[in-house]
Structure 1
Amino acid sequence: MTDETPARGDRIAKWLARAGVASRRDAERMLTEGRVRLNNAVVTHPATFVEPGDIVQVDGAVIGAPERTRLWRYHKPDGLVTTHRDPEGRQTVFERLPPGMPRVVSIGRLDLTSEGLLLLTNDGALARRLELPSTGWLRRYRARVNGRPDPAALAALAKGVTVDGVRYGPIEAGLDSVRGDNSWLSLSLREGKNREVRRVLAHLGLHVSRLIR
């Protein structure tokens, strides 16, 4: 016979993320703020493990054990913010979800005036993993811009570009059509930094009037 060390559960921040309470980073902040209890004792160390049967509370509310990981595709319309609480009182994506949806977090974000595919999950740890640039997911966009882009300038984006001191990776960009004063572009990129498409195209002198992922 051999001695085996009993398997421990998840670290508490990961457990909270999997339960859909918050991202792991936000869960770690909750720990430092003393908002999390395990079996009625305030958690003081992030290396605390949650095992089956343990009772976890956040702000006094008991948190149910994580469900199986699920992923949803959501078509975000123009005019919604991708946040759970907006200090300006604007309507959020999460306020418009169908009744009966569990608490979910978004994988990445789309800004207020952007629309299209947004991935949602009940597993905050999965969201964090998929958001990492090293994951290398290909993101495709269609952008309507004012004016007629220079094909050579679009092609040069394949080598990456630096805008206001920020380095953006390769972007495959092409002109789809021209309709009056507007042009439609297709773009593919893997980094997905904050407002990347809008900032890069503005660098080329192009104002984005509609952006669809």
Structure 2
Amino acid sequence: MTQDTPSQPPKGDRIAKVLARAGVASRRDAEKIIEAGRVAVNGTVLDRAAYNVSPGDTITVDGKPIAEAEPARMWLYHKPAGLVTTNRDEKDRETIFDHMPEDLPRVMSVGRLDINSEGLLLLTNDGGIKRKLELPSTGWLRRYRVRVNGRPTEDTFTPLRKGIVVEGEKFQPMQVSLDRQQGANAWLTVGLREGKNREIRRAMQDIGLTVNRLIRISYGPFQLGDLKQGEVEELRRKVMRDQLGMEAEDPVGTAKKKEVKRPDRKYAASRKPSEQGRTRDRARAEYAREKAEGSGGRPTATGSKSGAKSGAKFGAKPSGKPAPKSRQRPQGKPGAKPQGKPKR
């Protein structure tokens, strides 16, 4: 028997969000499942989605407990042209999810690419990441390679760089560079920080150009690279945490380690040349002294006679050229062979 929904929901996450994280359905579809009376919390069947649950609650769908939420994950996907970025299409067109690998878990797209566009599309199993990256306030630059029909000049794109209004909708300033002219078409690189519906195509049309190819090549720090059309590649979790600012989950994150070690690396790098420099200075001074005095067997500063192995390295036989640079520091008794590399 269906019971009434509790009047005072506990603090926590919305039930639809929890269901989506558990892989039951998308957040929108989860709301429909709830309204159909198929979801219960602690034995109480819900009839509306406006309900929060806490980690200790028992949630069932059709009488079966849901799985625990998976860790947040992200993938890079090279979307081909001709596919719709949606779970189901009203016109029964093929979607990107019809062509995903079978072993891929339920994922959501971060933003969209229209049916004729191609290139990088981010996928995630986490609704929070999806919403965060779609917000204009995130400020991530999205870059596109765009082919237009026509012969534009740099001045052609001045309105786009300043920001324009198309059909009553304001578009923020874009970064536009004219790369090259190729016959009747021109290739551009366009960067923008918002993702309104068909924004680049509509903006280009407003200045008299028609887009006949559009490829997204980057989304913030994530690059399309050499990913082939239709391929999916999962991001390493460390990369995902670093790029999304999730280092707080790891108390010994990468950023912290680099800040601590960087001074040590610089110090170590600057110390080696100085040690080698002292050896070279010693060799050059010895060579200059022998050349000035004309000594062929006079003891050197290290106590070895010219002609000994250590003395030969320091230029005992004047030839009019500086002696070879030594990488060793003489040690031990006078005239003895240097023992290994200098201690640092």
Instruction: Please give the TM-score of this superposition, normalised by the length of structure 1.
Output: 0.86
Which amino acid in structure 2 is aligned with residue 201 of structure 1? M
Kindly indicate whether the alpha-carbon contact (under 8 Å) linking 1:19 and 1:123 is maintained by their aligned counterparts in 2: no
Kept in 2, the 8 Å contact 1:144–1:211? The answer is yes
Where do 1:96-107 residues align within 5 Å?
96-107=99-110
CA distance in 1, matches of 2:21, 2:117: 28
The alpha-carbon distance between structure 1 residues 172 and 99, as it changes in their structure 2 partners (threshold 3 A), is: same
Query: What is the aligned partner in structure 1 of residue 50 from structure 2?
Result: 46
Q: d(CA) in 1 for partners of 2:37 and 2:206?
A: 45
Say if 1:12 and 1:48, in contact at 8 Å, map to a contact too.
yes
Match of 2:87 in 1: 84
Question: Do structure 1's residue 133 and structure 2's residue 133 form an aligned pair?
Answer: no
Segments of 5+ residues of structure 1 without an aligned counterpart are 1-6
Structure 2 CA distance for partners of 1:62 and 1:106, relative to 1, 3 Å = farther
Which of 196, 200, 203 is the aligned partner of 1:193? 196
1:169 to 167, 172, 186: 172
Partner of 1:13: 16
1:75 is paired with a residue of what secondary structure? strand
Match of 1:3 in 2: none
Cα shift readout 1:57-98 (whole Å, capped 9, x = no counterpart) = 2x7775422100000000000111111111222111111111
> Whose strand fraction is larger, Structure 1's or Structure 2's?
1
- 1:156 alignment counterpart: 159
**Equivalent residue letter for 1:183:** A
Deviations 1:126-164 (A, max 9, x none): 212211121121100011110012421313322211000
Task: Tell me which residue corresponds to 1:4.
Answer: none
Deviation at 1:30, TM superposition (A): 5.0
Question: Which piece of structure 1 moves more, 167-176 or 7-16?
Answer: 7-16
- Structure 1 residues 97, 201: CA separation in 2 closer, same or farther (over 3 Å shift)? same
- Structure 2: give runs of 5+ residues left out of the alignment: 1-9, 217-344
Q: Residue 67 in 1 paired to residue 79 in 2? A: no
**Aligned equivalents of 2:101 and 2:123: distance in 1?**
13
Larger Rg: 2
Q: How far apart, in 1, do the equivalents of 2:49 and 2:181 lie? A: 58
Once the two structures are TM-superposed, the CA of residue 52 in structure 1 deviates from its matched residue by 4.1
> Which structure features the higher share of helix residues?
2
Cα displacement (A) at 1:175? 0.7
Cα RMSD, aligned residues only: 2.3
Letter in structure 1 aligned against 2:60: V
Distance 2:33 2:208 in 1: 43
User: Which gives a bigger RCO, structure 1 or 2 (Cα 8 Å, sep 6+)?
Assistant: 1
Number of residue pairs matched by the alignment? 205
Match of 1:207 in 2: 210
Residues in 2 aligned to 1:107 and 1:212: alpha-carbon distance in whole angstroms = 16
Report Cα offsets for 1:154-184 as digits up to 9, x if no partner. 1332221100000011101111111110111
